[in-house]
Amino acid sequence: MRSYKEHLILSGSSIKKALSILNELSQDAILFVVDKQEKLIGSLTDGDIRRGLLNNFTIESVIDKIIQPNPRFIRKGNYDIQKIIEYREQDYRVIPVLDDNDVVINVINFRFIKSYLPIDAVIMAGGRGQRLQPLTDTTPKPLLKVGDKPIMEHNLNRLAMFGIDDFWVSVKYLGEQIEEYFGTGKQKNINIEYVWENNPMGTIGAVAKINNFKHDYVLVTNSDLLTNIDYEQFFIEFIKQGADLAVLTIPYQVAIPYAVLETEKGEVKSFKEKPTYTYYSNGGIYLMKRDMLEYIPQNTFFNATDLMEELITKNKKIISFPFSGYWLDVGKHEDFEKAQNDINNIKF
């Protein structure tokens, strides 16, 4: 994946230089003209150059006279997902992302990503992975390879595919290996920061240590999941229902091989012949308003289920997002073997 800076060109550059860069960009041929502080000034395409040459400009002329002065852009942390969907459906493929000072901080390309969600993602990767010993004796579970890459990289890539580019990774056991492997995320055009747990803090406790989230919504996920969840649909349903927290749930059906009696005070009122009941188990992925993180105590062992119980007592709205696609918690040896068999057949 190319760096977003390949789409930037400095104000005052020549049309000849712009043509050279556009040629390198090939099918992604659009440039964003910036000043020395990389503030957005305009955009430039092959079509703009053709029109300029027809108006008697030459390839030595400066680009400023032929640029489009009001290009579409996305404001980091302040946009509506429906606008992203609108851009995508209208085939606006390459769009700059600006900070509050109009500086270009990213360029998204819908040829490579499915969406651009206004979400920070926290990946919980501090566990010991005891059930996978001896594989985890010298390698942290998130770095165990499934196919050609670590479990956690599959997870991170899926999130990045939906335009999530601000990540925090909670680490403890052999966390140095995780930090060395993923680094700052620059090679993936994302940003990764690390949260170190001095003591085990449960499945969500370490999130209380983060105070610099970029968005109003935070997604927390276990690092050892393999899934093809559509994160955009997850987010849209969360917004649509006005939820404070949404949890991914996995349907689990139980077939009863006998007739089930429904009684009241010992009296049979009705019965169901060999019914099937559907239950929903916790899928280990949570989406919440950032304000909900205030209910996570500082420096305390605290699980995501503890947070949900606390929110219920506060009359907050928690919703279930039932998911019937591919989902696997790679926690045991048999799960790890299944993941190796499944990975080439999962439609990501």
What domains lie within the chain, and their CATH numbers?
Answer: 4-109 (3.10.580.10), 119-246+282-345 (3.90.550.10)
Q: What is the C-alpha separation between 263 and 270, in angstroms, rounded?
A: 7
What pLDDT does residue 51 have? 95
What pLDDT does residue 178 have? 97
Q: Is the pTM of this model over 0.85?
A: yes
Give exposure, 70-88, as e/b (b: 16+ Cβ within 10 Å): ebebbebbeeebeebeebb
What pLDDT does residue 348 have? 64
Phi, psi of 276 (to 5 degrees): -120, 125
What pLDDT does residue 254 have? 86
Contacts by residues 26-30 (CB-CB < 8 Å, ≥ 24 positions apart): 27/111, 28/2, 28/93, 28/94, 28/109, 28/111, 30/94
Parallel/antiparallel/unpaired status of strands 104-109 and 191-196: unpaired
Parallel/antiparallel/unpaired status of strands 119-125 and 166-171: parallel
Q: What is the C-alpha separation between 334 and 342, in angstroms, rounded?
A: 12
Q: What is the C-alpha separation between 138 and 173, in angstroms, rounded?
A: 10
Question: What does the pLDDT look like over 218-248, one tens digit per residue?
Answer: 999 999 999 999 999 999 999 999 999 999 9
Low-confidence ranges of the chain (pLDDT < 70): 1, 348
Q: Please say whether the dihedral angle defined by the alpha carbons of residues 202, 315, 221 and 189, taken in this order, is positive or negative.
A: negative
Question: What does the pLDDT look like over 151-210, one tens digit per residue?
Answer: 999 999 999 999 999 999 999 999 999 999 999 998 888 999 999 998 889 999 999 999
Residue 31: CA count within 13 A, CB half-sphere: 30
Distance of CA 167 to the CA centre of its chain: 8
| Maximum Cα–Cα distance across the chain | 95
